[in-house]
Chain A
Amino acid sequence: MADKSRNLSIAKRGLMSFETIMWVFTRLSALGMYALVIFGLIGALVMGARNNMNFADVMRWGFMPNVTHVENTALPDTAPWSSTLWKLTASALVLIAVGHGVHGLVVIADDYIATAKGRQIVRICSGVMILSMLGIGLYLIWTS
C-alpha cells in the first residue's frame, strides 16, 4: 500500500497544497531547531559551561541562546555569550520556533473551531501573533 502511493505523481499526491507544505515545514523546522539546540549546547560546553553552570542552566541556554539566560550562573565573563554569532543563532531559533509554534496553535484551533468565519479569525490572529512575537523576540535578542 505504501509502495503504491509512492508511485503517484506529485500533482496526484497533492504535495503542493498549503496543508502539505506546512506539514513538511513542521517536520523540517523541528529538525532545524534540534540542530540549533545542539549547536548551542556544544557552544556552551566550548565556552566553559561544564565548570560554571548546572544542567538546567545549560538546557535553558540550549533552547534559547540569549545572554540573559546565563546571567545568574557562575560564569566569570558573559561577553562571549552575547557575541553576534549567538545573537544570530537565537534569531534563527526565534524565526523557526515562531513559525512552527503558531502553525501548531492554528492546527489545534482548527480541531475546535468548525466555522469558516471562526477559522478566518484564527488565521488573522495567528498572523498578528507571528509579526508581534518576531518583532519583540528579535528586539530583545539584539538589545540584550
Chain B
Amino acid sequence: MGLNRNVSLMTALRYKGQGPFLTYILHRIGGLGMAIFITVHLLASFVGGKGGHFINAIYENWAFQIFIFFCVLFHAINGLRITILDLFPKLIPYHRQAITLEWLVFLSIYGFAVFTIIRTGLGG
C-alpha cells in the first residue's frame, strides 16, 4: 500500500492509460493548481500591503490567467463528465465518447478564453 509500488519510475512513465488517464492526471493538476492559487490569493488579499498587491499583480498577469483558466475550466468540465457518469452508471460504457465530447467542449471554451485574455493583454 502507499509508496511501496511494484513498478519503476520508467515503467510508470510508459504507462499507456491513454485518454482516461490523461484526464485523471489533468484533473488532479487542475485541482491542485486551483487550491494553491485560491489559498495564496485569499491570503494575499487578506494581508494586503505591498506583498499582497505584488502577489495579486502576478495573478492579474495575462500569462498566469491562461494557466489558471486551464486549471479551472478543465477541472470543471472534466468534473461534470465524472459526475454525470457516476450518477448515471448506464452511460459508463460510453466513457471514451464522453471524454472526446469533453475535450471538444473544453477546447472551444478555453480557446475562446485564451484568445480574449491574450487580446486584452496585448491591449486589444
Contacts and interface: CB of A to CB of B under 8 A. Distances in A.
Band of interface residues on B: 20 to 34
Contact of B4 (A63, A114, A129): A114
A59 interface: yes
Contacts of A54: 116, 120
Given A63-B72, A108-B28, A112-B2, A101 B34 contact: yes
A55 B72 CA distance: 15
A101 B31 contact: yes
A55 B112 contact: yes
A132 B41 CA distance: 13
B107 interface: no
Interface of A: 2, 27, 30-31, 33-34, 37, 54-56, 59, 63, 68, 72, 97, 101-102, 104-105, 108, 112-115, 129, 133, 136-137, 139-140
A2 B89 CA distance: 8
Given A56-B120, A108-B32, A101 B38 contact: yes
Contact of A59 (B43, B69, B82): B69
B83 interface: yes
Interface in B98-124: 112-113, 116-117, 120
B76 A104 contact: no
Contact of B65 (A56, A63, A112): A56
Given A34-B80, A55-B113, A105-B35, A140 B2 contact: no
